[in-house]
Amino acid sequence: MEKIINKPKYNVQSQLLLLLLDKQQPRRVKLLINLLKGKRTVATLYWSLRYDLLGFLGAGKYFRVTNLSFKELINLGLIVKTTDGNSYFLTSKGAAEKNILLKQIKEYPWQLNLQKFNLNKFKERLLLLIQVISEKDHNERKYYPINVSESEKFFVKNILRNLSNDSLLKFKSQLSLFLKKINNAKIADIVANEFVGFDNNGYTIEQISAELNLNEIVTKIYECYGFGLLAESFSQESDLNFLTFGLKNHLVSESSAKTFNYFLKVKDPVLVSQKRNLKLSTIYEHLLEIAIFLPVTKFPYQYFFDYQLINKVTESMDANIDNWDYDQLESSLKNKVPFYKFRLIEIYQTKSKDGMDK
């Protein structure tokens, strides 16, 4: 492996924090924790949109980060706490360190397939299947299988029981072909070096990071990108897509999608509430979730407000949308703008004003 940069200075959790924080925009601790855990409340999704961090939704599971500690970065002078103690932002030194990380990962759109697939389970499934096939090819029966969840052990056992010789041969050839399709030797090597098989124990992410002198978070992102490409490739092969069976994620909840599809027919949240037998507040939450994820041109904002109302709300609020507060809205406007509509205007303005066609 070719060595790339200096050895990491801090742990993977701190490295991840650098990617989540910003120099200009203070970011709340509770929100970042909920984001990494994958909590899909409207508040978490909205502020993730404001922070431009929706691609990190649920990423804590992949990076094995379950909590956040800011002490190490504070001691290094990379971050500072806001006066209320609830948020942090990067110092100039911290922003420079973040840029070093960003330069290494900017070419790799790793978040797309992280959101599309359960890559943790896909990785377990793929690595165990490769190991079992390799040991079987060498008639080796006495070996220790890699540590994976019981559900994936059971899945791989069933696959091997029903996998035809033709499918087995295609799996081997396609795996090699897919690795070549990655078209990046560094990414392909990181993924392939994790493979375990006969007389081959493979490498851990920690070992690969040390060998390449990469920060561990960068190695994990490269790995995520590589396994994401493999998951996408296998999902498109009719006789090999079993590897991604049950592992595809929905960008929005199925219930929210049902609400939105029915709303497009009747154009009335009250009728949707009655049809779906759900509280009106729940319908509004569903529509807000959809608005957060859809491109600004794909959501029917015109059914909720016109530009005149948007301008009135905007003129009554701070220039920075982060500082908007519904309680500070003029009483005359509150009669026309319930909270869900206020949040919808915030979403619209975020996507339009900031040029975020997401």
Q: For residue range 273-287, list pLDDT tens digits in order.
A: 999 999 999 999 999
Domain C-terminal end among 53, 87, 106: 106
Residue-level pLDDT at 354 = 53
Residue-level pLDDT at 7 = 47
Residue-level pLDDT at 9 = 63
Q: Do 265 and 349 lie in a common domain?
A: yes
Helices (DSSP H) in the chain: which residue ranges? 12-20, 29-37, 42-50, 59-63, 71-75, 92-105, 111-116, 119-137, 150-162, 165-181, 185-192, 205-212, 216-235, 254-266, 269-276, 280-293, 307-316, 331-334, 339-353
pLDDT digits 0-9 by tens, 35-52: 999 999 999 999 999 999
Q: Do 91 and 161 lie in a common domain?
A: no
Q: Do 223 and 152 lie in a common domain?
A: yes
Tokens of 227: 């396994």
User: pLDDT below 50 — which residues of the chain?
Assistant: 1-8, 355-358
CA 295 to chain centre: 17
Q: Do 210 and 92 lie in a common domain?
A: no
Number of domain units in the chain = 3
Q: Do 148 and 263 lie in a common domain?
A: no
Q: Whole domain around residue 213: which residue ranges?
A: 116-244
